[in-house]
Amino acid sequence: MTPRDEICDASCQEKIHRPSYRLGGCSLSGHYGSMRGAAAIILIRGGLHMPYRAIPEELEQWCEQVKLDTETAYLSYGADEPWKQSGMSGPEQRWKALRKPVADAVEHSGSFLDIGCANGYLLESVIEWTKERGIAIDPYGLDISEKLIELAKERLPAYADHFYVGNAFAWIPERQFDYVATMLDIVPEKYEEEYIHFLLQHHVTPQGKLLLLKTGAYEEPEVWLHRRLGRYGIIHGRILNGYDPFNNRQTSVAVIHREER
């Protein structure tokens, strides 16, 4: 899931390049916080209507820069090291140590959306890791980059129609998912709380779970998640941790139950 550890972050997901669009639902102007739940743009792409909501121009511009940085970083690596095309530096052992907690948070079969899926390698890994416990996920992915989404489709051709190019701050899916995973590393703090509630409202099924990832030095991510979610008054379940076997790094995954938030 993009962003990844120590290469580049892109949880924002740049908005899709629109060959044509029409406005619908509400005005594009107004404070971002007031847009919760409002579909501001209806994208027409390939005959499909894809609802978007309005976001601030500064956020759109920031997402565009992240898109460029991400493509430059991730696409500089070859397909023989797919974890690096998903933003993880170092050997593959590091990838498993720091990303397997995502799969460990999956307790039953169901749909799984990776926000910032990059080349789809995390989804492929979660499929394999959960299968070891007799769990089957139906994978979906959203990413900033059309180029990376094409790689994801090539990696998981059986699920090619499960991948979307879109801005995670604005994209409203036509369905909801049992599990939604997103990384908070570079989500701007001023938009963070609203972003979490937006995902819980529009992306997660009523009995589903939102998986919030945070990376950092040893012990810092877990402490950060406890404090930040406490500040927002968001109740979370367990926090799972993965530890870097080579460096003083850690990934923590907080499990948010939509029905308990």
- The mean pLDDT of 45-70, rounded to a whole number, is 82
Q: 124 in a domain, yes or no?
A: yes
Considering only residues 5 and 122, tell me which one the structure prediction assigns the higher pLDDT. 122
Bridge partner list, 110 = 137
pLDDT in tens, 75-90: 999 999 999 999 999 9
CA–CA separation, 253 vs 215, rounded Å?
Answer: 9
More confident residue, 158 or 13: 158
The mean pLDDT value for 59-80 works out to: 95
Sort 120 into a burial class: Cβ within 10 Å, 0-12 / 13-18 / 19+.
buried
Is the pLDDT at 19 greater than 50? The verdict is no
**What is the domain extent for residue 161?**
21-260
Q: Which pLDDT belongs to residue 50?
A: 60
Residue 72 carries which side chain, given as an amino acid letter? Answer: T
Is residue 37's pLDDT more than 60? no
In a domain, 4, yes or no: no
Instruction: Provide, rounded to the nearest whole percent, the portion of the chain with pLDDT above 70.
Output: 80
d(CA 117, CA 166): 11
pLDDT value of residue 224: 98
Residue 52 has pLDDT above 60, yes or no: yes
Neighbours of 255 (CB within 10 A): 18
Residue 14 lies in a domain: no
pLDDT at 259: 80
Q: What is the pLDDT of residue 12?
A: 36
Q: 121 lies in a domain?
A: yes
Q: Is residue 16 part of a domain?
A: no
205-239 confidence digits (pLDDT tens): 999 999 999 999 999 999 999 999 999 999 999 99
Instruction: Name the pLDDT band for 260 (thresholds 50, 70, 90).
Output: low
Residue 89 main-chain phi, psi, to 5 deg:
-80, 165
Averaged pLDDT for residues 20-38: 29
> Which of 10-19, 39-48, 192-201, 222-231 has the lowest average pLDDT?
10-19
As a whole number, the mean pLDDT across the chain is 85
Question: Averaged over 179-208, what is the pLDDT?
Answer: 96
CATH number at residue 33: 3.40.50.150
Q: Residue 189 domain-assigned?
A: yes
How does residue 144 score in pLDDT terms, banded at 50, 70 and 90?
A: confident
Q: How far apart, in whole angstroms, are the C-alpha atoms of residue 220 and residue 188?
A: 18
Number of domains, the chain: 1
Residue 10 lies in a domain: no
pLDDT number for residue 187: 94
The answer to whether position 55 is within a domain reads: yes
Is the pLDDT reported for residue 23 higher than 80? no
